Amino acid sequence: MTKVLLIVDVQNGFCPGGNLPVPEGDKTVPVINRLIEGGGYGYIVASQDWHPADHGSFASQHAGKNVFEMGELSGKPQMMWPDHCVQGTQDAEFRPDLKMDKVDFIQQKGQNRAVDSYSAFRDNDQTAVTGLAEQLKKQGVTELHVCGLATEFCVKFSALDAAAMLAGVKVVFVEDASRGISPEAVAEAKRDMAAAGIRIAQSAELLPAQNNNVKPKARKFNR
């Protein structure tokens, strides 16, 4: 039985000063660090947006399109984003104050330029999977706590996919360890998650008094 923490896209690009900042995105880091240190997790995963420079979700790749307009990608509606989290750039790196030395596995996503990838589990068209579900099954996951950036996009879709792809696993959205862009969209995301059977909790509810049985694990990378 393994309790897992999934930290979604806590990268420079999604924090103040980044190319696609979420308001107060950096404020998630102290809360997440407390979960990392005291949450009693047997396995910790961080997802990382890792886009090629010519990713099709970028407005810069579509003549006449502006950021935050709706466009099209591979025949489907697509929000046009600013260039962000491009592979190998500072914008794509994890926040430097996030305790990445405690993370066991990094799941990169968004590498296929022809489809956007909000979820850490599969692309938005739901045809290509990242392999994270199988990785967690190998670890014997029984409970998954999901947090990070941004609530109504990558966090929400990661949590919903976890609920759909990890049968029998209890999925929890950690609200105060996450931030969103639009209050209205965040409220809708919470309703969607609750409807899927996902518990909405605060970090304080998830921190046990003691954590004596968690052994450190080797850090692994998925490139």
pLDDT, tens only, 70-91: 999 999 999 999 999 999 999 9
What tens digit of pLDDT does each residue of 109-127 get? 999 999 999 999 999 999 8
Q: How many domains is the chain partitioned into structurally? A: 1
Active site residues: 9, 109, 154
The reply to whether 215 falls in a domain is: yes
Range of the domain at 181: 2-51+87-222
The reply to whether 78 falls in a domain is: no
The reply to whether 63 falls in a domain is: no
Q: Residue range 102-113: average pLDDT? A: 97
What tens digit of pLDDT does each residue of 180-196 get? 999 999 999 999 999 99
pLDDT at 148 over 50: yes
Q: Residue range 7-19: average pLDDT? A: 98
Q: How far is Cα 82 from Cα 207, in angstroms, rounded to an integer?
A: 36
Beta strands 170-179; 141-149: pairing state = parallel
Beta strands 170-179; 199-201: pairing state = parallel
pLDDT at 218 over 80: no
Domain of residue 129, CATH code: 3.40.50.850
Q: How confident is the model at residue 1 (pLDDT cuts 50, 70, 90)?
A: confident
The reply to whether 143 falls in a domain is: yes
